[in-house]
Amino acid sequence: MKRAITITEVALRDGSHAIAHQYTTKQVATIAKALDEANVPYIEVSHGDGLGGSSLQYGLSRTDEFELIETAVAVCRQAKIAVLLLPGIGTVKELKQAARLGAKMARIATHVTEADISAQHIAAAKELGMETVGFLMMAHMAPIEMLVHQARLMESYGADVVYVVDSAGALLPHEVKERVRALRESLEIEVGFHAHNNLSLAMANTLAAIEEGATRVDGSVRCLGAGAGNTQTEVLVAVLDRMGIPTGIDLYKMMDLAEQLVAPILPKAQEITRDSLTLGYAGVYSSFLLHAQRAARMFGLDARDILIELGRRKVVGGQEDMIVDVAAEMARQKAAVGEGE
Residue 111 known to be catalytic:
no
Say whether 272 sits in a helix, a strand or coil: coil
> Is 285 annotated in some ligand binding site?
yes
Q: Which helix (H) or strand (E) holds 218?
A: strand 216-219
Q: Would you list the DSSP string of 47-116?
A: -TT-TT--BTTTB--SS-HHHHHHHHHHH-SSPEEEEEE-BTTB-HHHHHHHHHTT--EEEEEEETT-GG
> Which residues lie below 8 Å from residue 135, measured CB to CB, with a gap of 6+?
84, 107, 108, 109, 110, 162, 163, 165, 194
Per the CB < 8 A criterion, the answer to whether 161 and 193 are in contact is no
> Is 242 annotated in some ligand binding site?
no
> Which residues lie below 8 Å from residue 243, measured CB to CB, with a gap of 6+?
2
CA–CA separation, 280 and 275 (whole Å): 9
Torsion of CA 232, 235, 240, 243, to 10 degrees: -140
Catalytic residue among 17, 47, 121, 140: 17
> Is 14 annotated in some ligand binding site?
yes
CA–CA separation, 297 and 161 (whole Å): 41
> Is 194 annotated in some ligand binding site?
yes
> Is 196 annotated in some ligand binding site?
yes
CA–CA separation, 149 and 73 (whole Å): 35
> Is 111 annotated in some ligand binding site?
no
Q: How far is CA 191 from CA 44, 177, 330, in A?
A: 18, 12, 41
Q: How far is CA 175 from CA 6, 67, 81, 317, in A?
A: 22, 39, 30, 21
Say whether 6 sits in a helix, a strand or coil: strand
The annotation places the binding site for Mn(2+) at: 14, 194, 196
The annotation places the binding site at: 13-14, 167, 194, 196, 285
The annotation places the binding site for substrate at: 13-14, 167, 194, 285
Residues with active-site annotation: 17
